[in-house]
Amino acid sequence: MTICKAALLTCLPIVFAACGFQQYVAKPIDASTVAHKIENRRPDDSQFHQFLISNGYAPDQLPTQQWDLDELIYCALFFHPSLDVARAQWRAAEAAKLVAAEKPKPTIKGNVANSNNANNDISPYALGLSIDIPIETADKRNIRIENAEHLSLAARLKIAQTAWQIRNQVAQSLYEYQFNQQQIKLLTAEQSQRQNIVAIYQKRISLGESSNIELSTAKLQLQMITTELNDKQRNQLVLQSKLASSLGLSISQLAKMPLADTVNIEPLASSLINNQAAPSDIQSRALLNRLDIRIALERYAAAEAKLKLEIAKQYPDISISPGYAYEFGNKVWSLGLSSLLTLLNKNKLAIAEATQLREVEAAQFEALQASVISEVNIANAKLAQANQILENQKNLYRQQQQNTQRMERRLLAGEIDRLELTYAKLEETVAEKNVALGQFQLESAINELENALQLPLIDSRIKNEKIENLSLDNSSLR
């Protein structure tokens, strides 16, 4: 009976511990539910309004009457699903930190035996109980924690990097959409002017004052412009879809959002050109602000921690095993000591592998820095070139405006006919199209430089230091 009580007392802690076990709960994914969730993301959502208020918007500014670049970026930071993926990866890395901090758990061993009492022993029963207490050496636990902390910080920075990529996509998609709208407007004006030219030639032919060749040429040019206009009108839906995807919304929701017509960035471009920093200064700004460089540094630090851990594993862990046994009437205590024989090979292969992995991270970091420097220099040169092209196109446009005004005065004086004035207006429209193209190229160049520096250059509510916090904070509202 005494032995049975002892066995029962041994099993009771295990039984009580089993009562606290977590149960598996299935969580299947319903594709239709997810699709419905995406379709129902709304920019007038109360939680999104609260997000805007918490970031400096006044309640009387909501709902938004005109969606400019800032508002669209906030919308993307709140709704875009890529940020949910990055946040989930960061939470997994945070959980890995807790796992890395766990200490090795003791194990308990027990056995019960019964003899046939052939030798007339005092007792036919034997009972053994021992506990293995592992002890880590060489500071392995702290090294594991260090490795997990670097990986967690890299995952956190990945959220901010994803936010920057989304910001870049939103800005470029908005610029493309606005440029396409301007092209439709100007091509419509050009189409009307070419229709007037065709009508004038047709009238002249009827009066015998013009040839069919001139009329055919004018009709061909009208057909080309009409085809281009139709292409731009069809492309409008594609660009709307692209912008909606950048925001994480459905196209039906985007259609309800009044978008700003243009983004005035010319003063910024002039300021950037006039106060252009030296290439070395721009490179330094990029190397200080780029999130991918900071992520690469954390990954290199994690590789170093991994190497330190493999080196620490040269020193074997120790397991102390105190025990008690009741053996056929005899009471015996024992103290065991065990360890792996790592001293024989000293973990050489794992250390060599970790060393090479550290070299890989170092080489990748160097390649990344070279790529960043090249990217920044190219983006900076493109900005200067785009600004110069826009200035040239604006000068030509102003000259053409003056020419049109001069032709209008000559028409009133009877010195020219309406066809010459229509051609002058057509040339002015073409010059305006070139200005619109130059504006779009300048916007794209500024966006490319911002993305290369990962630093907002346009006067914006969203500063660089807020990107990481915004991409984390809004997860608590959803």
Which tokens is 239 given? 């660009």
Give the pLDDT confidence score for residue 474 in this predicted structure: 56
Residues 6+ apart with CB under 8 A from 252: 39
Residues constituting the chain: 478
CB 438 within 8 A of CB 394: yes
Q: Which two tokens stand for residue 243?
A: 């912008």
The burial class, CB within 10 Å (0-12 / 13-18 / 19+), for 215 is middle
Distance between CA atoms of residues 407 and 418, nearest Å: 9
Helix (H) or strand (E) holding 114, with range, is strand 107-114
The dihedral sign for the CA sequence 90, 96, 101, 102? positive
> pLDDT band for position 284 (50/70/90)?
confident
Residues 6+ apart with CB under 8 A from 376: 282, 283, 286, 449, 452, 453
CATH topology of domain 65-269+276-476: Outer membrane efflux proteins (OEP) (1.20.1600)
Vertex 11, ends 5 and 12: CA angle to 5°?
Answer: 90
Please give the structure tokens belonging to residue 104. 């090795």
- Say what the pLDDT of residue 476 is: 45
Residue 16: count other Cβ atoms within 10 Å of its Cβ. Answer: 9
For residues 468 and 245, the model is more confident at: 245
Asked if residues 428 and 397 have their Cβ atoms less than 8 Å apart, the reply is yes
304 or 210: which carries more pLDDT confidence? 304
Q: How much is the pLDDT for 11? A: 55
Tokens describing residue 200: 């004038």
Neighbouring residues of 60: CB distance < 8 A, sequence distance ≥ 6 = none
Question: Do 462 and 70 contact (CB within 8 A), yes or no?
Answer: yes
Give the residue from 22, 97, 457 showing the smallest Cα distance to 302. Answer: 97
C-alpha angle 24-26-30 in degrees, rounded to nearest 5: 165
DSSP state of 1: -
Residue-wise burial string across 342-381, b where 16 or more C-beta atoms lie within 10 A, e elsewhere: eeeeebeebbeebeebbeebeeebeebbeebbebbeebbe
How far apart are alpha carbons 305 and 145 in whole angstroms?
Answer: 9
Dig out the tokens for 32 from the structure: 């239709």
Confidence of residue 344 (pLDDT cuts 50, 70, 90): low
pLDDT at 312: 92
Counting Cβ atoms within 10 Å, is residue 123 exposed (0-12), middle (13-18) or buried (19+)? Answer: middle
Comparing 33 with 209, the larger pLDDT belongs to 33
Phi first, then psi: give them for residue 10, nearest 5 degrees.
-70, -35
In a 13 Å sphere around the CA of 282, the CA atoms on its Cβ side amount to 23
Q: Computed over its alpha carbons, how large is the radius of gyration of the chain?
A: 37
Task: Give yes or no for residue 277 having a pLDDT over 60.
Answer: no
The pLDDT of residue 142: 94
Tens of pLDDT along 54-81? 888 888 888 888 898 889 999 999 999 9
Identify the pLDDT of residue 470. Answer: 61
- The DSSP H or E segment spanning 332 is strand 330-339
Residue 331 has, within 13 A of its CA and on its CB side, a CA count of 1
Residue 409 CB contacts under 8 Å (≥ 6 apart), including other chains: none
pLDDT at 90 over 90: yes
What is the pLDDT at residue 303? 96
CB of 303 closer than 8 Å to CB of 361: yes
Question: Three-state DSSP class for 464?
Answer: helix
pLDDT > 90: percent of the chain: 50
Task: Report which of 70, 150, 133 is spatially closest to residue 466, judged by C-alpha positions.
Answer: 70
